Amino acid sequence: MKSKTLEQVENQFETFQILNEEGEIVNEAAMPNLNDEQLQELMKRMIYTRIWDQRAISLNRQGRLGFYAPVAGQEASMLGTHFALEKEDWILPGYRDIPQIVFHGVSLEQAFLWSRGHFQGGQMPEGVNVLMPQIIIGAQIIQNAGVALGLKRKNTNTVAITYTGDGGASQGDFYEGLNFAGAYNAPAIFVVQNNRFAISTPVEKQSAAKTIAQKAVAAGIHGVQVDGMDVLAVYAATQEARERGVRGDGPTLIETLTYRYGPHTMAGDDPTRYRTGELDDEWEKKDPLVRFRKFLEKKNLWTEDQENEVVEQAKEDIKAAIKKADAAPKQKVTDLIGFMNEELPYNLKEQMDKFKAKESK
Residues marked as catalytic = 260, 264, 274
- Residue 89 CB partners (closer than 8 Å, separation 6+): 129, 158, 159, 160, 161, 242
Q: Is 155 helix (H, G, I), strand (E, B) or coil?
A: coil
The burial class, CB within 10 Å (0-12 / 13-18 / 19+), for 105 is: middle
Question: What does 231-251 look like in DSSP terms, one character per residue?
Answer: HHHHHHHHHHHHHHHHTT---
- Residue 357 CB partners (closer than 8 Å, separation 6+): none
Q: Is 104 helix (H, G, I), strand (E, B) or coil?
A: coil
Starting at the earlier edge strand, list the strands of the sheet with 90-92: 90-92, 160-165, 188-194, 252-257, 222-227
Q: What angle do CA 20, 25, 26 make, to 5 degrees?
A: 70
